[in-house]
Amino acid sequence: MYDTGISPAPSSAYDVDANNIYWGFGSDLKQRPRTGGATTVLATNQLGVQSVDAYKTDIFWAINGEINTGINGGIFSKPIGGGSTTTYSTTGGKDFLLTTDTDIFYTNPIKSTIHYLRRSDNLTGLLLGVYLPDGSTYSTYYSTPFVTDGIYVYATYTSYPTGQIPIVRVPIHGGQISIFASYTTPGYYYRGLSIDNTNLYYLLFVPMEPSTSGIWKQPFIGGSATKLVGSGGGFSGTIATDGTNVYYADANAKQIRKVSVNGGTTSLITTLTNPGGSINIENMKVSNQCVYWYNNSTTTIQTVAVSP
């Protein structure tokens, strides 16, 4: 295991691709080679970097800004190798970016709404807000990450009037909201959405049924959910998949582990150090046969190489 020493703030303000780690801290957007080396400052005067998303040849980021400083919030991008900045929005209040060829999806800062921004013309629209699938309204918080298969955006609530917290999906430019995954026992909740080309992977916690809790997969086109591994109550709320394995953190055992997307025996990848007491792992990612995560005990990004 390798501790990069990189401390993004917040933990969502980092991303990684085959070559670099990208992160925001304070008013700077930075990058550094994954294998170590000199840090490059990609942008300055970016007050309150909230989210960073490396997508293909560009780096995208969202900032809060602050009116009395003259620094506007908004969503921006620039080529990873250097070049001019593209502005998609100059208003603050945008958080947690998810970029595709056609759109940028984002939440508001308190994550009570999810929106799309169409890259071709910067048209924006509301996808998910206070209206729940049953037509009622409630104090709503969407857990991140939310994900997309290019047809739908999938997200999970953290509050629901019946005591249920399902995964919902909505067409990428708005439309009928439907429930993609739910459970029968009240008090359940979902976390840690991740996708490959055919399946949505997620953590399901059912406090009244520990044997049900664990990592599950479910096909986008429909069909039954399959449990890959039980949680034992110790999973952090983040996972990542490369289409071969699902990677996850067992906070109780202080381990990073993996399980095949087809299920089976789990494997230990690394044991976590614990200088600050408790360990909570956030924002796990996988790229180029390496797993990355934010460790809130060290407040740094850590990584370990994994075999296919």
For residue 28, being part of any structural domain is answered with yes
Does residue 47 belong to any structural domain of this protein? yes
pLDDT at 162: 62
Q: What is the pTM of this model?
A: 0.92
pLDDT at 252: 77
On whether residue 49 sits in a domain, the answer given is yes
Can you spell out the DSSP letters for 133-163?
TTS-B----B-S--EE-SSEEEEEBS--TTS
Q: Angle 153-157-158 (CA atoms, 0-180°, nearest 5)?
A: 150
Residue 82 placed within a domain: yes
- For 298, other C-beta atoms within 10 Å of its C-beta total 17
- 105 and 94 in contact (C-beta within 8 Å)? no
- pLDDT of residue 136 exceeding 70: no
Coil/strand/helix, residue 220: coil
Domain membership flag for residue 110: no
pLDDT greater than 90 at residue 119 = yes
- Per-residue model confidence as pLDDT tens digits over 238-251: 999 999 999 999 87
CATH of the domain at 42: 2.40.10
Give how many domains the chain has, as a whole number: 1
pLDDT tens digits for range 165-224: 789 999 999 998 888 998 888 778 888 999 999 999 999 988 888 888 899 999 999 889
pLDDT higher for 53 or 63?
53
Does residue 143 fall inside a structural domain? no
| Confidence label for 233 from pLDDT (cuts 50, 70 and 90) | low
Q: Which domain holds residue 59?
A: 7-99
Looking at the domain assignment, is residue 186 inside a domain?
no
Query: Does 220 reside within a domain?
Result: no
pLDDT in tens, 144-155: 899 999 999 999
Q: Shortest CA distance to 190 belongs to which of 178, 177, 175, 180? A: 180
Residue 186 CA to its chain's centroid (Å): 25
pLDDT tier for residue 121 given thresholds of 50, 70 and 90? very high
Query: Does position 69 have pLDDT exceeding 60, yes or no?
Result: no
- Report DSSP letters for 30-57, one per residue: EEEETT----EEEES--TTEEEEEEETT
